[in-house]
Amino acid sequence: MMKRFALGDLVDDRPKDGVFRVNRALFRDAALFDLEMKHVFEGGWVFVGLSTQAENPHDYFTGFIGRVPIIVSRDGAGELRCFVNACPHKGVRLVQKLCGNARRHVCPYHSWTFDSAGANKNIKWAKSGCYGAGFDDDNHDLASVARFGEYRGFLFASLNPNVPSLEEHLGEARKLLDLVADKSPEGVELVPGRVCFTYAANWKMQLENCSDQYHFTSTHPSFIRILDQRGKEQAAEVVQSTLGAADFWQEGASGITGGTMSFDHGHVLNWGVMPVSSAQPDFERAEDLAERHGVAKRNWMFNMRNLTVFPNLQVAENASSQMRVIRPLAPNLTEMQTWCIAPRGESAQARAFRIRQYEDFFNPTGMATPDDTVCYEEAQYGMAEQERPWLQGHARGLAASVEGGNDYADMIDLKPARSVLADAQLCDESLFSSYYRAWAARMAEVLA
Amino acid sequence: MSALTQAQAAEFLYREALMLDRFDFDAWLDLYTPDCLFWMPAWRDDGTQTDDPDRELSLIYYRGRRNLEDRVQRIRSGFSVASTVMPRVAHMVGNVLATPDGQGQVRLDSSFIVNVQDVRTNRSHAYFGRYEHELRLEDGGWKISQKVIRLMNDVVPTMLDVYGI
């Protein structure tokens, strides 16, 4: 096979020389994008949804793995399954709805019928079909995805069978999903109401922005000013922000205010110290959480945490709690599906507070996210530059990055591959290298 | 003036639309009561919208004009890149139906299309859906005590602010 791209031309990874650079081509090249879809998104583990999205027997929801439509269905026996959402007959998308409950799925085109476990239950007029022997030998069930697994309610799938176990893929990032799932003994759920938006830029802009502390005070000053003003006035009609009570992003803060951690397989965390305060809806359970999990883990649950599980899941616990799923559509077009993720069983008051904080900051109709997505689009314009292909956006913190963890990681027995402890102005970018190393690993067979 | 004719109801909505088209935000804010509800529900699934704002997510949910004032302040601040090159918008409001509630308030149902020219990227798109206004007489004039915006095309291209709906 002719390998059109050489890794060294795309990612300049020379730790000994203190260099980590990414070529703009990764954000714009159409041929590279096709390879990414096949090898990054359709060639390894990706996040597909939460188990509570199909809670009861025969519940289902639909989505995509890369370009391939899928159904996640809970069968009659209560087992979750994941199929390609395409009728084996003519390839027609079997289920058109986003979610629902059905014992049988009937293809709208020729009425082939499948049960909630994906088994073919009827081929219309099969006996009079004069099929050849070859047809009878075929399997007519829905195609199961090669690998499917759950961790604490988070569902992942892979179209490629040759991947590590889900446990190994997630590795230490499991402990960060635990911090989300353990907020309630009943686990987590999605608040009803999905918010979906697109932006005209590459998917990696979102991947990076979630773990980019450097942008916050530059991109969101209009929001920060409103926070300041609300903080002074304490008006009853406006929602209190979690961020007002924290100083990890404040220029004047001193000492260690947070940092970053990177894990194998491309998962990263950036985090900031946030006090256990009534500015967070979880405050009502602060004591209970400390009793259940110990003070250190409880305090970590209140910290600002932006987690990426490579390549498409982000759980942002900062201004509220958000679950994002990244779906690349083209080199310069990305769809974001976003939900408010919340501990089950929290009080009605805490839930309403969480939702208000969420809408204020995270929605594409809110006061912060639009300033991010517009910046992604502006970056996309600049990705056309070819004279100087190397971006300079992956270099901060390189000299502060150490192998392994630190005291903060030790508090919850977290063992990152690398970590950075930071003051408010360090704003590490070296964690992004974890994304590109995982990207390169998935692309290895097509990169020279 | 204790009741609105259909023609007056339509004119009221046209004026609001014109204020938004012109970014005449002070006049626009002045249409709302201080305790107003401004609500754009999200979609729960393919066919139903969220309807309990304290238990389900909305695209926008504000109780109190103060929140709209914050939005306007952000737009005007000069510190929001999403508001630096302002999109141009043209509202079309139609199918206006006025229903008095018998207690001094009037409910208005209408349809809207907002055509948007995103000047920054030279893209055009349209937002469309239904408005549900409730008007109340305050100091001799009709004010909006409640506005529900039922957005049909909810896959938002990049961003959507209060002037685009």
pLDDT tens by residue, A23-73: 999 999 999 999 999 999 999 999 999 999 999 999 999 999 999 999 999
The architecture in CATH of the region A171-446 reads: Alpha-Beta Complex (3.90)
B43, B63, B158 ranked by CB distance to A374: nearest = B158
Are the beta carbons of A413 and A300 closer than 8 angstroms? no
Contact B57 A355 (CB under 8 A): yes
Above 50 in pLDDT, residue A380? yes
Render pLDDT for B52-101 as a digit per residue (tens, 0 to 9): 999 999 999 999 999 999 999 999 999 999 999 999 999 999 999 999 88
Inter-chain CB proximity B70 and A196 less than 8 Å: no
Is B122 within 8 Å of chain A by CB?
no
What sign does the dihedral B55-B58-B63-B66 (CA atoms) show? positive
Nearest to B57 among A193, A222, A238 (CB): A193
Would you kindly state where each structural domain of chain A is located, as residue ranges?
Answer: 46-151, 171-446
Residues 12-51, chain A, touching B (beta carbon < 8 A): none
Q: How many helices (H) and strands (E) does chain A have?
A: 15, 22
The DSSP secondary-structure symbol of A38 reads I
Per-residue pLDDT, averaged over A325-329, amounts to: 98
- Asked if A175 and A167 count as a contact pair (C-beta separation under 8 A), the reply is no
- What is the reported pLDDT for A235? 78
B161 part of a folded domain: no
Instruction: For B133, list phi and psi in degrees, rounded to 5.
Output: -95, 150
How many angstroms separate the CA atoms of A362 and A354, rounded? 12
Instruction: Report whether pLDDT(B113) > 70.
Output: yes
Bridge partners of A97?
none
The answer to whether residue B74 neighbours chain A at the CB level (below 8 Å) is yes
| CATH assignment at residue B138 | 3.10.450.50
If you measure CA to CA, which chain B residue comes closest to A360? B60
Residue A238 binned pLDDT confidence (cut-offs 50, 70, 90): confident
A392 touches B89 (CB < 8 A): no
- Whether B163 is in a domain gets the answer no
What's the whole-number mean pLDDT along residues A210-231? 93
**Is pLDDT at B1 greater than 60 in this prediction?**
no
Please state, as a whole number, how many other Cβ atoms lie within 10 Å of the Cβ of residue A392.
10
pLDDT bucket at B106, cuts 50 / 70 / 90: very high
CATH superfamily of A46-151: Rieske [2Fe-2S] iron-sulphur domain (2.102.10.10)
pLDDT of residue A1: 66
Q: Give the pLDDT mean for A114-139.
A: 96
Buried b (16+ CB within 10 A) or exposed e, A352-379: bbbbbbbbbbbbbbbbbbbbbbbbbbeb
What gap in Å lies between CA A240 and CA A46, rounded to an integer? 35
Q: pLDDT-derived band of residue B2, with 50, 70 and 90 as boundaries?
A: low
DSSP 8-state secondary structure symbol assigned to residue A265? G
- pTM for the model stands at 0.96
pLDDT of residue A245: 73
**Counting beta carbons within 10 angstroms of the beta carbon of residue A164, is it exposed (0 to 12), middle (13 to 18) or buried (19 or more)?**
middle
How many domains does chain B contain in total? 1
A410 vs A117, A180, A256, A263, CA distance in Å?
43, 18, 15, 15
Nearest to B27 by CA among B132, B163, B147: B163
Residues on chain B touching A373 (C-beta within 8 angstroms): 82, 158-159
- Judged by a CB distance cut-off of 8 A, whether residue A410 touches chain B is no
Q: Do B58 and A359 touch (CB under 8 A)?
A: yes
User: Is B57 within 8 Å of A359 when comparing Cβ atoms?
Assistant: yes
Residue of higher predicted confidence among A240 and B34? B34
Range 61-100 of A in CB contact (< 8 A) with B: 97-100
The mean pLDDT value of chain A amounts to 96
Residue numbers of the domain that contains B76: 6-153
Residues A173, A185: Cα–Cα separation, whole Å:
20
Contact A193 B43 (CB under 8 A): yes
User: Within 10 A of A293 (CB to CB), how many other CB atoms are there?
Assistant: 18
Q: Rounded to an integer, what distance in angstroms lies between the CA atom of residue A111 and that of residue A124?
A: 6
